[in-house]
Amino acid sequence: MRQTHGDFQVLLSDNASTDGTSDICAAIAAKDSRFTHVFHEENLGMSGNFRYSLTAAPESQLFMWRAHDDVTSDDYLERLVALHARDPQTRLAVGRVKTLKMYTDGRLKHERWRRMPSSLTGSTSIRALSDRMFKLHESSYYGVWHRETLLHLFDRIYAAFPHPWAADHLTLLALSLDGTIRGDSNATFTQRLLRHSDEGPKEVAPQRSVASVSMEELHVQAGAVYDEFIAEREWSPLQKAALLAMRQRWLTKRVGKTGVAKRSGLRRALSDLNRARKR
């Protein structure tokens, strides 16, 4: 509501909440005509709710998602919409990301500013491709999109990779390859990660809660999409060789390490043993 760019409309897609969220959303919609509240009687799932909001939101050339736990600078929309106006070839406009690790009681544990890639241009040099592929933060998914481009990518990726985990990275990969992402480091997106306490569990590894297959299978499916993206674009022999060489590194960084459950279990056992020794 505090955005300096006031020409926007918001669809509050309430995914069958049971914690009072519905009442809050309805109250906001009643006070501000730019807000529309839709309550779903049945949970659509994460991907289902994302797609519903993408297709059901008021008609506009530009679109962005917002999650309940993230915040942006007051000029976020103004700056990112301006990037689209300045360059009509822009398909995604992003800001700089700040990550806050917080306790559920509101205390701050750690703050970290994320580096914005220096190559958010149309360049497809090997250096520029690598910079975007490995340094673009996943929260860029919550930037301002060219809506039709996003809808096409969303449906295509979900058909081949039906998991919320890592689908954002695959979507960002397509535009990273094309060089159609633009950025403004003065527009800030704050990612907030919650944990209960130092002694309690860390942030839940999302792949364990939203993916129904193993990490190895996620690599196979995501790798197939990666290969399709590379094959359908025009590359020089050197570019193609570099992108194929980066494939496994990209999958490990963006999808996850294979065998992570076993390694996590070992680390947890060693941590428990060390705590026991100190008592």
d(CA 29, CA 205): 34
**pTM of the full structure:** 0.86
pLDDT digits (tens, 9 = 90+) for 36-82: 999 999 999 889 999 999 999 988 999 999 988 889 999 999 999 99
What pLDDT shows up at residue 252? 97
Nearest to 129 by CA among 228, 241, 220: 241
What pLDDT shows up at residue 212? 74
What pLDDT shows up at residue 58? 87
What pLDDT shows up at residue 206? 44
pLDDT tens series, the chain, 279 aa: 689 998 999 999 999 998 998 999 999 999 999 999 999 999 998 899 999 999 999 889 999 999 888 899 999 999 999 999 999 999 999 999 999 998 888 889 999 999 999 999 999 999 999 999 999 999 999 999 999 999 999 999 999 999 989 999 999 999 999 999 999 999 999 999 886 555 554 544 444 445 678 999 999 999 999 999 999 999 999 999 999 999 999 999 999 998 755 444 555 555 565 555 555
Token readout for 236 is 């020089």
Output phi, psi for 133, to 5 deg: -65, -30
Token readout for 34 is 């730019």
Output phi, psi for 163, to 5 deg: -135, 135
How would you class 138 by CB atoms within 10 Å of its CB: exposed for 0-12, middle for 13-18, buried for 19 or more?
middle
What pLDDT shows up at residue 208? 42
